[in-house]
Structure 1
Amino acid sequence: MLVWMLRNVMADRGIWSGAALARLMKQKANYSLSAASISALLNGQPRQMKAETLDALCTTLSCTPSELWYIHHHPKPGRLNKSMTVRTIVPFGDPILRKTARPVDNVNTRVVKILDDMAETLYDREGRAGLAAPQIGILRRLVVMDCGEGLIELINPEIVETDGEQQLGPEACLSYPGYYGYVKRAERVIVKTLNRKGETILLEGEGYLARCMQHEIDHLNGVLFVDHIQDEWLYHEETHRRIELLPVLGLSNTGT
């Protein structure tokens, strides 16, 4: 379930809360959304929504039913290789998250094994879109992502071009689970990277994919999403209650 993709769609349309979404649905679709339906929507539980709720949501967000169905029902891939291992996620406060990751010199079997383990770790956390190697305690320039279009692997990624107006959208992090904040990112990026065959390729990302690319590449440079937040708050994923950003920033810099 890619709840963050749905929240990003909402953010792209200037809808920052469940209450705002409910008001807009009333205005655009003449549909009253209950508090229970709002909670189900924002916590990735679409089976609790009625069909007419989904139709009204599609009208409000200018999405097709199939797009929203995919967003909420994106399957968690099964284990591709029994040798894959779910790694422990490094939390905020570990100094490795503030270090610059080293380039990969040779895409060998060890690197491939790390990528496989990273993918297994990512898919073990439902609703998350990306993971960087420092988050599992490995200081190498490796990233795995799945933003709804299948697994993407980045080796020594470098953003070579950005385009479009900076867009404000929600972001979260596996190293500080349970909270999200609003960050401005370029609308479009082009990334130069190696694939697991050691070939140099260019990948283009727009919208949500571009956001994920920028977020994960930041991790390789010791930069966290909380560094980019311009207001004073983070928000709880389930209750959406806010907490002060400053103590979290302090925690993220522990040991540096």
Structure 2
Amino acid sequence: MKWNLRLTAANKGIWKASELQRMLAEHGLVISAGKMSGLWSGQPASLKLEDLDVICVVLDCEVGELLIPEPQKVARPGEDSTVRAAVGSPAPAPVVVPRRRDGRSLPPM
């Protein structure tokens, strides 16, 4: 999922994180400056559904405007999950498997 808070806020005329932080506080959601910075400029590691509701009310938006699916990043069964090549691109490089010089096996991963 792609987090799209900053663009959604800009579409509503909100250009500063502090302005959104104040508006959220008016609706009962008090967010620290550090957490607000993470929400504004990055991809949040976690977000309560109740907080997401408040953000949607303040921005007058739907959840789908804040969270954009990225299905191309999901590994399919039987597909190598480390590299997904685009159609027409050269084949991905082979996966390198480390081996010990003395012949002993490596510990399980």
TM-score (norm 1): 0.27
- Residue 11 (structure 1) shift: 1.3
In the alignment, the residues of structure 2 paired with residue 52 and residue 15 of structure 1 have an alpha-carbon distance, to the nearest angstrom, of: 21
In structure 2, the partner of 1:7 is: 6
Any gaps of 5 or more consecutive residues in structure 2?
Answer: 74-83, 93-109
In structure 1, the partner of 2:104 is: none
- Residue 2 (structure 1) shift: 4.5
Bigger RCO (CA 8 Å, 6+ sep): 2
1:83 aligns to 2:90 (yes or no):
yes
What is the alpha-carbon root mean square deviation over aligned residues? Answer: 2.7
- Residue 49 (structure 1) shift: 2.2
- Residue 7 (structure 1) shift: 1.8
- In the superposition, relative to structure 1, how do residues 36 and 48 fare at CA in structure 2: closer, same or farther (>3 Å)? farther
Q: Identity over the aligned pairs, expressed in percent?
A: 32
- Residue 44 (structure 1) shift: 3.2
In the alignment, the residues of structure 1 paired with residue 72 and residue 42 of structure 2 have an alpha-carbon distance, to the nearest angstrom, of: 13
Aligned AA (2:42): G
> Which of 42, 45, 62 is the equivalent residue of 1:64?
62
Aligned AA (1:61): L
Matches within 5 A, 1:122-161: none
In structure 2, the partner of 1:55 is: 53
Aligned AA (1:40): G
In structure 2, the partner of 1:19 is: 18
- Residue 67 (structure 1) shift: 3.3
In the alignment, the residues of structure 2 paired with residue 25 and residue 79 of structure 1 have an alpha-carbon distance, to the nearest angstrom, of: 41
In the alignment, the residues of structure 2 paired with residue 11 and residue 39 of structure 1 have an alpha-carbon distance, to the nearest angstrom, of: 15
In structure 2, the partner of 1:106 is: none
> Which of 23, 28, 31 is the equivalent residue of 2:29?
31
In the alignment, the residues of structure 1 paired with residue 25 and residue 60 of structure 2 have an alpha-carbon distance, to the nearest angstrom, of: 15
- In the superposition, relative to structure 1, how do residues 20 and 84 fare at CA in structure 2: closer, same or farther (>3 Å)? farther
Asked whether the equivalents of residues 13 and 61 of structure 1 are also in contact (C-alpha less than 8 Å), the reply is yes
Matches within 5 A, 1:228-239: none
- Residue 62 (structure 1) shift: 1.2
Quick check: which has more Rg, 1 or 2?
2
Matches within 5 A, 1:176-195: none
Asked whether the equivalents of residues 56 and 63 of structure 2 are also in contact (C-alpha less than 8 Å), the reply is yes
SS at match of 2:86: coil
TM-score (norm 2): 0.55
Bigger share in strand = 1
Any gaps of 5 or more consecutive residues in structure 1?
Answer: 86-256
- Residue 22 (structure 1) shift: 0.6
